[in-house]
Structure 1
Amino acid sequence: MGARADAMLTLVVLFVTAVAHLLVDAVFSVPFLVAGAIATLAFEGIAARDPDAVRRYWERPVVQGVTLVVALAGVVVGARVAPSIVLSFPVGSLVTYLVFLAVTNPAYRA
């Protein structure tokens, strides 16, 4: 699948998160934005230990599909339960991941 598909999936979840954020009129929580960013960087650091194994696992369509459904369900539930916290975390995480992709993949550089 590759980095472009990863970016597209990330943008789908980010878009749904942004729409949910607007619909519930949530306020961003800076600590949870930062926590999302740190979580993404921590995951990428751990995944860098064996990127081939992580890529083989992630390339499975069922893994991507389940991950997408769980992420979207988390956004929907979070928007109803604790929107400022639950919606801030993925925004921090997803934006950080998009920046990570742009920095680490030559195809995204101009």
Structure 2
Amino acid sequence: MGRRRDALSTLAVLCPLLAAGVVVSAPADPLAAVVGAAGTLTLEGLLSLDAPRVRRVWDRFVVQVAAVVVAFVVAALGVLSIGPVAVTVLVAALVTYLLVLAAVSLRDAARAA
């Protein structure tokens, strides 16, 4: 799939989630942001242990669509169960993922140069 499509999928979830955050008055909670960022970094670290297999699975269109749908379901369930802070956690997680994609892309560009 590639990093560009990964980023677009992330933005497809992040943009509506930011709008939802405004609607539900999601708090600018630093602890929630750290939890979201730590969650992303932990998940990426675990997935990198078998990156080729993860990439093969992730490259399936049905998996990508399911991931976007699951993200919205998790956001809705999170808001219903723990409140608007769930949006803050998820936004921080998605922004962290975009930063990871950018860092890896910059690293690869530097190696190629």
TM-score range, shorter chain: 0.7 to 0.9
Matches within 5 A, 1:66-85: 66-85=66-85
Matches within 5 A, 1:1-110: 1-106=1-106
User: Residues 100 and 7 (structure 1 numbering): CA distance in 2 closer, same or farther, change over 3 Å?
Assistant: same
RMSD, aligned α-carbons: 2.0
Rounded Cα–Cα distance in structure 2 between residues aligned with 1:81 and 1:48: 31
- Quote the offset at 1:28 in angstroms: 2.3
Identical positions, percent: 37
Give per-residue Cα distances to partners, 1:31-50, cap 9 Å, x unaligned. Answer: 11101101111111111111
User: Residues 78 and 86 (structure 1 numbering): CA distance in 2 closer, same or farther, change over 3 Å?
Assistant: same
Rounded Cα–Cα distance in structure 1 between residues aligned with 2:53 and 2:31: 32
User: Residues 86 and 106 (structure 1 numbering): CA distance in 2 closer, same or farther, change over 3 Å?
Assistant: same
- Quote the offset at 1:79 in angstroms: 3.8
Rounded Cα–Cα distance in structure 2 between residues aligned with 1:51 and 1:42: 14
- Quote the offset at 1:71 in angstroms: 0.6
3-state DSSP of counterpart to 1:27: coil
- Quote the offset at 1:81 in angstroms: 4.4
Give per-residue Cα distances to partners, 1:45-83, cap 9 Å, x unaligned. Answer: 111111100100111111111111111122234344444
Rounded Cα–Cα distance in structure 1 between residues aligned with 2:107 and 2:31: 32
The letter for the 2-side match of 1:85 is V
- The TM-score, its normalising length taken from structure 1, stands at 0.87
Query: Aligned pairs, how many?
Result: 109
In structure 2, the gaps of 5 or more residues are none
- The TM-score, its normalising length taken from structure 2, stands at 0.85
3-state DSSP of counterpart to 2:25: coil
Rounded Cα–Cα distance in structure 1 between residues aligned with 2:20 and 2:79: 6
3-state DSSP of counterpart to 1:26: coil
